[in-house]
Amino acid sequence: MIRAALALATSRLKGLSESPRLDAEILLAHLYGWSRAQLITRDEQPLSAERASDYEQLLTRRGTGEPVAYLIGYRDFWTSRFAVGPGVLVPRPETELLVEIALEWLIDHPQPRLLDLGTGCGAVGLSIALARPEACVDLVERSAPALAMAATNRAGLGAKNARLLAGSWFAPIGEARYDVILANPPYIDPNDPHLAAPTLRHEPLEALVAEEAGLADLRWIAGQAPRHLLPGGRLLMEHGHDQGGAVRQMLKTAGFRSPGTYRDLAGRERATGGALGD
Sequence ranges of the domains in the chain: 2-64, 78-276
Q: Tell me how crowded residue 31 is: count the other CB atoms within 10 A of its CB.
A: 17
CATH ID of 2-64, from 1.10.8.10, 3.40.190.10, 3.90.550.10, 3.40.50.880: 1.10.8.10
Strands 74-77 and 80-83: antiparallel
Where would I find the H helices in the chain? 2-13, 20-32, 36-41, 49-63, 68-72, 96-105, 123-131, 144-157, 216-224, 244-253
The class (CATH top level) of 78-276 is: alpha beta
| Chain mean position to CA 200 | 14
- Is residue 66 a contact partner of residue 202, using CB atoms and an 8 Å limit? yes
Segment (H or E) for 75 = strand 74-77
* pLDDT surpasses 90 at 181: yes
How many residues are present in the chain? Answer: 278
Mean pLDDT, range 69-78, rounded to an integer: 97
Where would I find the H helices in 113-214? 123-131, 144-157
Mean pLDDT, range 214-229, rounded to an integer: 98
Whole-number average pLDDT of the chain:
95
What distance in Å separates the CA atoms of residue 213 and residue 191, rounded to the nearest whole number?
8
Q: What percentage of the chain reaches a pLDDT higher than 70? A: 100
| pTM value surpassing 0.75 | yes
* pLDDT surpasses 60 at 177: yes
Helix (H, G, I), strand (E, B) or coil at 253: helix
